[in-house]
Amino acid sequence: MRTFVWQGIDEPRMEIVRVESPDRARGTLIGLVYELRWELDGSELIVDIGAGPVRHTLGEADFFDLQHSAYFNSLPVLHDHLLSNAAPPRDYTMRFVSVPRLSSELTAQRYEPRGDDVVGFASGDYHAEIEFDRDGFVVTYQDYIRRLHP
């Protein structure tokens, strides 16, 4: 099992994640007005801010994306080996779960390998560069999140 800790750059926020495998992990996100616990178990994501668990299923989506979590940006990178030199840009349908509302919707996201362990991320009008370690986990998400551990 691996443990990661990320910190918000743009506002006070922390996340700790324990990873058994890419599709089996659990974590805690702490923001100014919430403490959220989540558990990813294959095609199900359970989230809870203290009012009882809310279950989301992948359905037609390729992956989950939990708002403010760096971990979920690693899933497409790990699955499709987007850090390899020959990786093409990929478009995904994500099950995006908003925080702290915990509602979900399908969103389109694009991951475009840039080389040197950097992937361009786009969703709608939003664009950012995300740096990954050699294992495919987020190190720095441009102006948003940075990893503290390991």
pLDDT digits over 112-144, tens only? 999 999 999 999 999 999 999 999 999 999 999
Q: DSSP E strands: which ranges in the chain?
A: 2-8, 14-21, 24-30, 35-41, 44-48, 54-57, 63-66, 90-97, 104-115, 118-123, 126-132, 138-141, 145-149
Can you give the pLDDT at residue 63?
98
Tokens 């080389």, residue? 115
How high is the pLDDT of residue 86?
A: 82
Half-sphere exposure of 36 (CA within 13 A, CB side): 25
Per-residue pLDDT tens over the stretch 4-35: 999 999 999 999 999 999 999 999 999 999 99
Percent of the chain scoring above 70 in pLDDT: 100
* Cα 106 versus chain centre, distance: 15
